[in-house]
Amino acid sequence: METTTNTQMTIGLAEAIDLGLMDHDKAEFYETPGGFTGFRYNGEDYKRIVLRRATPIADPSAYISVADHENKEICVIRSLSDLSDDQLKIVSGELDRRYYCPEIVEIKSVKDKMGYIYMEMRVTGRGEAFDKNCAVKDVSKNIRLLDDGRLIVFDVDGNRYIVQDMSALDKKSVRRLEPYLF
């Protein structure tokens, strides 16, 4: 009877689980004339791809899924830091568009009507401040206080808003949010 060591089992498991990590020598991101992000990989040319973060809040720069327009995964980028500067610029631009997340700087009002929370807030995004209204359903799932003092809000349209530091919000804003923090 043959015995196996933990090291042999680990190597076998790593070989059995293929994460499909991107081979940088076979990969090239590019911008299409239509303004989409394209991807040449392993001899294939994908004219339009979708990038998704595996852990968008905890570690947004690691494990980025690259999928074709039919959402079939092509490969996974282990870390954005592995990309060259020109490739990083293209990938970061696409991720910024997909994960656009204005920062909430003030909560002007919160109204609870028929199972929805309607928020009027002041946000900053892409260098400018503006007023924004949003509706939130199922508050316990869509208004989340994170361990590091940040707050994230998901509205009914799939938009995301973030408070980078709850302690930096004015007292009125915090008071308006408190009933919805779990």
Would the pLDDT of 14 be above 50? no
Q: What digits encode the pLDDT tens for the residues 127-179?
A: 899 999 999 999 999 999 988 889 999 999 889 999 999 999 999 999 999 99
Domain definitions of the chain by residue range: 18-98, 103-180
> Does the reported pTM lie above 0.75?
no
Q: What digits encode the pLDDT tens for the residues 101-125?
A: 999 999 999 999 999 999 999 999 8
- Taking the C-alpha atoms of residue 114 and residue 69, their distance in angstroms, rounded to an integer, is 37
